[in-house]
Structures are given as structure tokens and as C-alpha cells.
């Protein structure tokens, strides 16, 4: 397990950090994005998509469980579990199968802890006291996630590993 922390002071900071991660993600990667409403999870996914070379705009996936963005080298699957009925629904999806051909990013993974795979890169976004301040904590479990986090650490300017 590896950890790493960053401070963000604007939506742009958050998106740029995610963009760097987007350049490092590997096929089959699963990213879990935790944080309250308005923390910046969707902002993070927008940056991630840009880093993965996807040009589609990523919106908040409120009405379907998984959105697909397939116009880049690797497809991005974006899930929002906010309205999930329970872990059963996520288990039925087979999260590792969904991720296998590309990268799966999940907002509100807390809604389905029992269905989450062991190996993943967890990102926790906490809102700070100043209006645009966010604190991001990354925890990597498994070799792929650790490689991705290493790559982020070595490319992110201003990070505090
Ligand atoms: N440092 C920051 N990082 C990310 N978003 C921020 C930051 N500061 C302010 N914001 C604002 O907070 C909101 C985050 O919204 P969104 O990304 O949809 O959050 P979530 O998906 O977690 O509900 C946006 O309006 C964004 O402009
Ligand atoms: Mg969101």
C-alpha cells in the first residue's frame, strides 16, 4: 500500500493533477473517487479524461450507472454510485470486467464497499477551510496502482509526497 498527498487551490489544480494521472493509467485500472458532494470528483474525472487523450466532455453521470468514453487510446468508464440501490447492483456489474478493456473510475464507491475490488487506486478529496482548497489523498493497492501513483508522484509539480 502506498500513499501520497496533494493540496489543490483551484478546480484547475485538481484537473491538472488528474490529467497527469490520466497519462499514467494502465489498462484494467480502477480508480475510486471519494468525497462529499461538490468536493471535485467530477472535476477530477474531466482532467483524467484529458490526460488519457479523450476529447469528449465528461459530465456528471446522474442518470445511468456507467458512461463510456471511447474516442481515445483506452476507453474510460465513468460510474457514479450516488444513486446505487446497494452493493448488489455493483456486484452484478462485475467491476473488474467493466474495467478490463480500459479504465474504470467510480464516484461514491462508499455506496458499495463490499463490491469493490482489492486492488485499486483510491483518491479521497477533502474540502478545506478556504473556498477553493482541497486536500487529495491517494492510496494505491496492488502493483498496477502503485506504478500509477509512482508515475503521478514523479511528474506532479508542487506535490508533497
Ligand atoms: N480545488 C478545487 N478542486 C475541484 N473543484 C473545486 C475546487 N475549488 C472549487 N471547486 C468547485 O467545486 C465544484 C466541484 O464540483 P464537482 O467536480 O461536480 O464535485 P463532485 O463530483 O465531487 O460532486 C465545482 O463547482 C468546482 O468549480
Ligand atoms: Mg460528481
- What are the pLDDT digits (tens) for 72-124? 999 999 999 998 888 888 888 899 999 999 999 999 999 999 999 999 999 99
Residue nearest to atom 17 of ligand 1 (CA): 40
Cβ(13) to ligand 1 under 6 A? yes
Bridge-based pairing of strands 66-69 and 120-127 is: unpaired
Q: Is residue 156 scored above 80 in pLDDT? A: no
> Each residue of 8-21: b (16+ CB within 10 Å) or e?
beeeebbbbbbbbb
| Confidence class for position 161, pLDDT limits 50, 70, 90 | very low
How does pLDDT run across 8-43, given as a tens digit for each residue? 999 999 999 999 999 999 999 999 999 999 999 999
Residue 92 grid coordinates: 452484478
Torsion of CA 150, 69, 9, 17, to 10 degrees: 20
Residue 48 grid coordinates: 483524467
d(CA 97, CA 77): 11
How does pLDDT run across 51-61, given as a tens digit for each residue? 999 977 666 55
- Neighbouring residues of 154: CB distance < 8 A, sequence distance ≥ 6: none
Residue nearest to atom 7 of ligand 1 (CA): 11
Quote the ligand 1 centre to 92 CA distance (angstroms). Answer: 30
To the question of domain 2-155 being in CATH 3.40.50.300, the answer is yes
Ligand 1 atom closest to residue 36's alpha carbon, by position in its atom list = 22
Which pLDDT score is estimated for 92? 85
Contact 5, 136 (CB under 8 A): yes
Quote the ligand 2 centre to 147 CA distance (angstroms). Answer: 26
Amino acid at each position: 500500500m502506498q500513499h501520497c498527498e496533494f493540496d489543490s487551490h483551484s478546480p484547475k489544480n485538481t484537473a491538472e493533477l488528474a490529467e497527469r494521472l490520466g497519462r499514467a493509467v494502465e489498462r484494467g485500472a480502477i480508480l475510486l473517487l471519494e468525497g462529499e458532494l461538490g468536493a471535485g470528483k467530477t472535476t477530477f474525472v474531466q482532467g483524467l479524461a484529458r490526460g488519457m487523450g479523450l476529447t469528449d466532455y465528461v459530465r456528471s453521470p446522474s442518470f445511468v450507472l456507467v458512461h463510456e468514453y471511447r474516442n481515445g487510446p483506452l476507453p474510460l468508464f465513468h460510474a457514479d454510485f450516488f444513486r446505487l440501490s446497494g452493493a448488489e447492483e455493483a456486484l452484478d456489474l462485475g467491476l473488474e470486467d467493466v474495467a478490463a478493456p480500459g479504465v474504470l473510475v467510480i464516484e461514491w464507491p462508499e455506496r458499495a464497499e463490499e463490491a469493490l475490488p482489492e486492488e485499486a487506486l483510491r483518491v479521497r478529496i477533502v474540502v478545506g477551510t478556504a473556498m477553493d482548497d482541497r486536500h487529495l489523498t491517494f492510496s494505491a493497492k496492488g502493483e498496477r496502482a502503485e506504478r500509477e501513483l509512482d508515475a503521478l508522484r514523479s511528474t506532479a509539480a508542487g506535490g508533497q509526497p
